[in-house]
Homo-oligomer: A and B are copies of this chain.
Amino acid sequence: MNYTIAALPGDGIGPEIMESGLSLLETIGKKFKHDFNVTVYPFGGAGIDETGDPIPPQTIKGCQEADAILLAAIGGPKWEKAEKTPEDGLLQLRKTLGLFSNIRPIAVSDSIAHLSPLKTERVKGTDFVVVRELTGGLYFGQPKMWNDEEATDTLYYKKSEIEQIVRQAFDIAMTRKKKLTSVDKANVLASSKLWRKTVNEIATEYPEVTVEHLYVDAASMKIIQHPTAFDVIVTENMFGDILSDEASVITGSLGMLPSGSHSKKGPSLYEPIHGSAPDIAGQNIANPMSMILSVVMMLRQSFHLYEEADALEKAANDAMDAGFLTADLGGDTKTTEFTAAVQANLAE
């Protein structure tokens, strides 16, 4: 089979971990006889440097025509004052491709529970998914303006946007432990009142799913206090940004978490949860696991290449089990050494 992939290495540690992910994808392609046609496009700060635009037209076109998109990471102090920032480019990409749902699995396997900042007993067994709305809310609502006197952002949702993401979350809950936690601030926000009503309506279509509503402040506490109590969390864009990042650190292994963003139809986008980490860029010390697992996620969810995904995942986990650990995990394995170890496992 033939698969077209748009790769956006971006900024900071992005290019290094993308290189790791793509070289392993190539090996999987050879091993399982698939053609992965990867084209690399300028994006983010790299897009600005190359073309003056964080998301130049050829990048949009390349992404739209691809079967899937791999993004590494974007942003950095260098472009903070740009007229159109790397982040603006990312938001435009999400909106243009209609990537309304961002899925972030948060799991703590017993073997890494000791890495968590939380007490080991408390975090062991944590296994949930954050479903974040990605193309609405405060990020995109109009008016959005500021001057020297005042500033306005708008948290706007159409009911249909809420339905779309909530339904996806229920569908995911049906494949798991059938428990859905909807997070809002319905005691204060009008948008949350519509959100909660919509969740309750859609809940009637999924009688098997247990639904819980939590205020966002209570959710931020419960993620720390009882992380094992969650199965699927669904929430709007801004709350999802905060809570999914909070949730990602309780695993103690931010460098290992992938995420997937999906649209109604069209290519999905896979990327690490973490940022571009400019402070450690170019030193060959970044952990490429999150990128490798993003490739695994793509193989599974976009291409349904389960055997291939399992092989890559196993090769990567075996490398870690054999003691190849990057600095974030307390080891001194270099990025390229880790990739080579995974390659060696795939060659066996």
A217 at the interface (CB under 8 A from B): yes
Residues of B close to A40: CB separation below 8 A? none
Q: Which residue of chain B has its CB nearest to the CB of A241?
A: B217
CB of A321 closer than 8 Å to a CB of B = no
Which residue of B is nearest A240, CB measured?
Answer: B217
Total residues of chain A contacting the partner, CB 8 A: 58
Q: Is the CB of B225 within 8 A of A245?
A: no
Can you name the residue of chain B whose Cβ is closest to the Cβ of A243? B220
Cα distance A153–B188 when bound, in Å? 10
Interface pair B153/A155, CB less than 8 Å apart: yes
Asked if A58 CB lies within 8 Å of chain B CBs, one says no
The verdict on A50 contacting chain B, using a C-beta distance below 8 Å, is: no
A117-B119, A224-B117, A249-B224 are contacts. A152–B190 as well, Cβ < 8 Å? yes
A216 within 8 A of B: yes
Q: How far is the CA of A221 from the CA of B138 in the complex (A)?
A: 21
A31 to chain B, nearest CB (A): 37
Binary CB contact string for chain A from 216 to 248 against chain B (1 if under 8 A, 0 otherwise) = 111011001100000000000011011101101
Per the 8 Å Cβ criterion, residues 115-171 of A in contact with B are: 116-120, 122, 138-139, 141, 144-159
Expressed in whole angstroms, the Cα–Cα distance for A250 and B220 within the complex equals 11
Give every chain B residue within 8 A of A254 (Cβ-Cβ).
Answer: 221
Q: How far is the CB of A185 from chain B (nearest CB, A)?
A: 7
Taking CB atoms, residues of chain B closer than 8 Å to A154 are 152-155
Could you tell me the distance in whole angstroms from the C-beta of A120 to the nearest C-beta in chain B? 8
Decide yes or no whether A193 CB sits under 8 A from chain B.
Answer: yes
How far, in whole Å, are A145 and B120 apart by their CA atoms in the complex? 44
User: Chain A 177-188, CB within 8 Å of chain B: the 1/0 string?
Assistant: 000000001011
Can you name 6 A-B residue pairings with CB atoms under 8 Å? A117-B122, A118-B119, A147-B194, A149-B158, A153-B191, A220-B243
Instruction: A221-B249, A224-B246 are known; give 20 further A-B pairs, CB within 8 A.
Output: A75-B187, A87-B188, A116-B119, A117-B119, A117-B225, A118-B118, A118-B224, A119-B119, A119-B120, A139-B188, A148-B159, A150-B194, A152-B156, A216-B241, A216-B242, A220-B245, A220-B246, A221-B254, A225-B249, A246-B246
